[in-house]
Chains A and B, each alone.
Chain A
């Protein structure tokens, strides 16, 4: 019966491809293309700055994007907290700092291999949380220093 139903589907090959992509998830080159598939009432972004707090252009100094920095940081943080049964949201300040410092080391190394102008001085990793509020700008930004090295 299922076989007969399958044969009656008008786009069998496409259906099979969609089922495969949805089932496989994120296993390169397979993907569910999950970008902007859900919207939370809070968003956050990350950036890099020098010791004086001046932003450092991520592309120029590290050869990557701040969107990538965020993903890399979160993966390292999860790696630290998951073994003790915690989540990113319940990570301790020490765990957040360790994840940030490890990431800064890695950004310097991959940036140098990319031929980027990696800074020699202290670099800060900052996270900014954004929420909607009833002000003129309409948004509130809360900045947090994650690590500096």
Chain B
């Protein structure tokens, strides 16, 4: 036990270059996917975060935003193949963060973009640190970052994802004054709300729900202990997300657990966090590595003794 506790420390995984190509390509796709086609806001009546430091309303001008958006796939494509990440990732991260800050400056705080922006900014910071203070003997590469720098950037992404989930866990404990698990049965009312939101968002549209749907909320209200049993592991997983920083296998296990939590929320609450789910798939679960391990195991099983 003592040895296990002593082994609990942050470890930078020695990802292969091809793994990191896949990670960058998927992150670039995700950033492009989350960038809106138009920014409908021409004012920032309730400046939030970055918008408190700068006026971002120019993004609402289609003549400005359209060319900026058109440049994004080029920058992100170059980042995916590893060209000048300080510039290419920096461009994508800055644009997405500015759009998110303007969106959140309308008097309504959404949470679909923050983690993605934080991950992109954390990666950028890792590249910037390596550019300013390269490791002993490492080249000061601006156009092509060395493999070790890419590894640090991947580690920075993992660290930010883990930190966000741990923060979310602590927020639940702090905001509920430690009564989150006790309050859980009242989540049934939140379910009534989220189901109604989807119903009225899509009313009469193809594939829209035809009723307000109270089956799940009623089930939860009638079985408070089952509800606690189903949702408490989510809180424990969030608080334990720190373990994802200890190695590949731990990251994969934590990632699968957190993804299952999101899929449960998507099914029961009709509440999806698309970017969060994909960040877990890209950096924690690391599907290409899983496939590689699976293939190796199959080959070794098939090999003659």
Contact = CB atoms under 8 A, between A and B. Distances in A.
A42 interface: yes
Contacts of B193: 43-45, 130
B166 A36 contact: no
A30 interface: yes
B49 interface: yes
Interface in B163-185: 163-168, 170-172, 174-176, 180, 183-184
Given A11-B10, A37-B171, A138 B201 contact: no
A29 B114 contact: yes
- The binding surface of chain B is classed by DSSP as helix
Contacts of A26: 48-49, 104, 109
A43 to B, nearest CB: 4
A88 B290 CA distance: 51
A22 B168 CA distance: 9
B274 interface: no
- The binding surface of chain A is classed by DSSP as mixed
A43 B197 CA distance: 12
Interface in A92-149: 110-111, 113-115, 128, 130-132, 137-139
Nearest to A43: B189
A59 B189 contact: no
A72 interface: yes
A94 to B, nearest CB: 20
A29 B97 contact: yes
B9 A47 contact: no
B183 A14 contact: no
A86 interface: no
Interface string B192-229: 11101100111111001000001001100110000000
Nearest to B106: A72
Given A57-B200, A113-B38, A31 B159 contact: no
Contact of A114 (B40, B172, B205): B40
B88 interface: no
A139 B200 contact: no
A98 B49 CA distance: 28
A25 to B, nearest CB: 10
Contacts of A13: 10, 159
Interface residues on B, range: 35 or more
Interface string A22-54: 100011111111111111111111011000000
B100 interface: yes
B111 interface: yes
Interface of A: 10-11, 13-14, 17-18, 21-22, 26-45, 47-48, 55-60, 63, 65-68, 71-72, 75-76, 79, 110-111, 113-115, 128, 130-132, 137-139
12 contacts: A18-B163, A21-B163, A27-B52, A33-B115, A39-B187, A43-B193, A55-B200, A57-B201, A65-B197, A110-B41, A113-B42, A139-B218
Interface of B: 8-10, 38, 40-42, 46, 48-52, 60, 97, 100-101, 104-111, 113-115, 117-118, 121, 159-160, 162-168, 170-172, 174-176, 180, 183-184, 186-190, 192-194, 196-197, 200-205, 208, 214, 217-218, 221-222, 242, 245
Given A47-B196, A56-B203, A139-B188, 16 more contacts: A14-B166, A22-B171, A26-B49, A28-B109, A29-B101, A30-B49, A31-B115, A33-B165, A39-B189, A58-B201, A65-B201, A66-B196, A71-B110, A111-B40, A130-B192, A131-B189
